[in-house]
Structure 1
């Protein structure tokens, strides 16, 4: 992007009323304890024409966001506290950092080619590269409002993954928007803050599935766009009378297959040969609980689903991979969740995660991971000046990992995929992938 942000203001937003003493010690759930320590970044873009219908003075818009955030934090009180170890949040009302900045470029410069290094400037922190002391200073969440030369704006929010998953982030943004529109805290049910830690009590365990996966040299993240019509074609291409893949299953399978083919091209050039592969998918378990939890339930209510090994030396079909994706996701069923909640059998789950972590590092094995934010409603977040023109994230700088998020029409999928630079160069020329997806230049 080149141009630098001009900081207009930088302050902490505290809840409009203090958190009661009996709520100051918030316990993380067992699932929160297993979550990575980085931040979840969300970016929402609003056009100049929509913003002008609300205010020509962006200072007034900024104040409205701050005031409504302050009101909402009385319900989401852990979000303005500080993490203490891997077990509790001190709900001390230290507040949420809110940065208001200005850029001397039009919003269109970003939207026509949203590369990760340009999007980073629109976030209040580097979500994947913070040291523990920096995370303590930053807190549980942080906000940056960026205004563009044209009058358009971007709202960048980073949420600590130790309590907030993408579904929780979407629910919070929706509640914040409703509060901004004047609907107030009384217009929606208070979030059940303690629910997850009651269902999944904290335990004396620690497994960091992402440890050592950041900071790999020579990796690059690119965005691939699958339109709704192309996904329909892809599903028809994969499907048969006994198997009709979902949109996420189809896109995951194609990206998995394409990355394996890119890795094979690398092995033909003298790099390590890939003989087997497995896929990991993040599974939202709210609807899989009995009884099901609300989509607005707070916390890391998800699990890693890891497939068995797939032999890939002789090549593997797209349908075979799509079926393996479905089989893997369906492993996280009622019995699996029961083990998570058991005082004895949860050890099996932890052991399985540790084995998957070890397997991912083995030579000759390609471990591909995906997380889906499809259907989380980021395009519905209306603070009073209309819905976003564009809603996205920045992808995760973890090799062989893809993040899937809905496109604006709700039919397509935007995929942010991270590979080595050599493999990405091969992937960008994969004819089968390019038949169904477009990519940024």
Structure 2
């Protein structure tokens, strides 16, 4: 986007009713404390034809969004507060920054080939590198409504990761949309805000596992699209005798295998020991708890799982990697989660960090994946239809893949970050391109 946008308005949206005194101090859970200090970015795109069915004057649409957001914030009161330390949110009703921006380009210019540098401009902040002063100004949540020349719009929303994971973001956006359609506070009752901190009480610990990994030089992020039919072929091709890999397991396996092969093909002699590799997967634990939590539960209800090492000398096999992916994800079971709810939680986290550190010191490659597949971003309908395209902005972390659903619900979009050199090699991997198309 060569041409700059025009800021139409900047507002601070406060809850329509003040937060009661007994709710002014919101405690983060232990899992929230472990979450990164950056923001979770979401982008929702709506076509001009859909938007016109609601309003020809986008200032009307903007006011509708602000009014419904104000109503919803009475229920999601921590989202308009301020983070005071790594254990507390001051629910002071300072509000959510809402920016209305006008861009002199058509929506199609963005959607025909989404590029990261263009997508970043549609967000209210730089999500992965907020400065302390900027975080205090932005607060827990910020919104940017982008108006395109054609009449289409993009809604960019950033949530503090200290209170929201991707599942929480999807739940909030759908609740906001329901409120906008007139089906909000009267019929929607969110889970108790303090539910997660009661289940996972805060601890005297502070670990940010991603801060040291952000902003690596000489990395590049590319987008790969896996259609539903290609994923079906991939699952059959992996051919595990004991189980049929899920869509996420299959795509993770292929990206891990292809990335590892690119690393081996481009490594100089003595540069790095790539005799073994591991995989790290973010696991949503809502459905794994006993009893299971609602998918609408608020907070960081996920956990990292790190695999044991896979020897890769002499070649990398489908089955070994696929089995390791499944084994890793299934490590996070009921017993594991119960430990996180007791004093053993500190030891669990320390053991996880030690595993990652030892692997890094030995030069073994660890590839991390976060799956947003199944989260209902494509269901967010404010009254003018569902999104044409819904996505996130991949974290600039080397050897990280973020998986999201495609609009039809059958495919997977993968944002993958590697070194520039390794990505150049990966782009020509015939096995990968047999199942995926390189989109950007």
Range into which the TM-score falls when normalised by the shorter chain: over 0.9
Q: CA deviation at 1:352?
A: 1.6
Structure 2 portions without partners, runs of 5+: none
1:268 Cα shift?
4.5
**Aligned pairs for 1:82-93 within 5 A:** 82-93=82-93
Please say if residues 19 and 93 of structure 1, whose CA atoms lie closer than 8 Å, have aligned partners that are also in contact: yes
Aligned to 1:440: 439
**Per-residue deviation, residues 202-244 of structure 1 (Å, max 9, x unmatched):** 0001111113101211111110000000000000001244220
- Give 1:365's aligned residue: 364
Query: Does residue 94 of structure 1 match 2:94?
Result: yes
Aligned partner of 2:391 in structure 1 is 392
For 1:424, the equivalent position in structure 2 comes to: 423
Question: For the Cα contact (< 8 Å) 2:288–2:333, is it kept in 1?
Answer: yes
Could you tell me which residue of structure 2 aligns to residue 66 of structure 1?
66
Cα distance between partner residues in 1 of 2:226 and 2:340: 35
Contact 2:143 2:155 (8 Å CA) reproduced: yes
Match of 1:12 in 2: 12
**Stretch of structure 1 that moved more, 209-218 or 160-169:** 209-218
Task: Tell me the CA shift for residue 300 of structure 1.
Answer: 0.2
Q: Distance in 2 between matches of 1:271 and 1:220?
A: 20
Equivalent residues of 1:368, 1:401 under 8 A apart: yes
Alignment correspondent of 1:334: 334
* Structure 1 equivalent of residue 216 of structure 2: 216
Contact 2:190 2:296 in 1 (8 A): no
Q: Deviations over 1:138-173 (max 9, x none)?
A: 100100000111100000000000010000000000
Deviation digits for residues 102-154 of structure 1 (CA, Å, limit 9, x no counterpart): 11111001001101111000000000011222111110010000011110000
Contact 2:176 2:184 in 1 (8 A): no
5 Å matches for 1:13-412?
13-268=13-268, 271-343=271-343, 345-412=344-411
Task: Map Cα deviations across residues 377-412 of structure 1 (whole Å, 9 max, x no partner).
Answer: 100000000000000011110000010000000000
Secondary structure of the corresponding residue to residue 109 of structure 2: helix
Q: Secondary structure at the residue paired with 1:99?
A: strand
Give 1:360 shift. 4.9
Q: After superposing the two structures, state which structure 1 stretch, 404-413 or 261-270, moved more.
A: 261-270
What RMSD in Å do the two structures reach over aligned CA positions? 1.1
Distance (whole Å) between structure 2 residues aligned to residue 138 and residue 114 of structure 1: 26
Q: Is the 8 A contact 1:164 1:299 kept in 2?
A: yes
Which aligned runs of 4 or more in structure 1 are off by greater than 3 angstroms? 268-271
Query: Would you say the 8 A contact 1:283–1:329 is kept in 2?
Result: yes
The number of residues matched between the two structures is 440
- Superposition TM-score, scaled by structure 1 size: 0.98
Deviations 1:46-65 (A, max 9, x none): 00000000000000000000
Would the aligned equivalents of 2:145 and 2:156 in 1 still touch at CA under 8 Å? yes
| Cα distance per residue 1:351-372 (max 9 Å; x no partner) | 1222134135324210110000
Contact 1:264-1:273 at 8 Å conserved across structures: no
- Residue 185 of structure 1 aligns to a residue in which SS? coil
For the residues of structure 2 that align with 1:37 and 1:230, how far apart are their CA atoms?
36
Q: Is the contact made by 1:75 and 1:191 (CA closer than 8 Å) also made in structure 2?
A: no
Call closer, same or farther: CA 1:60–1:271 in 2, change over 3 Å. Answer: same
The answer to whether the 8 Å contact 1:209/1:357 transfers is no
Whether the 8 Å contact between 2:307 and 2:324 is mirrored in structure 1 is: yes
- Counterpart-to-counterpart distance in 2, 1:136 and 1:148: 29
In structure 2, what is the Cα distance between the partners aligned to 1:184 and 1:208? 35
User: Secondary structure at the residue paired with 2:121?
Assistant: helix
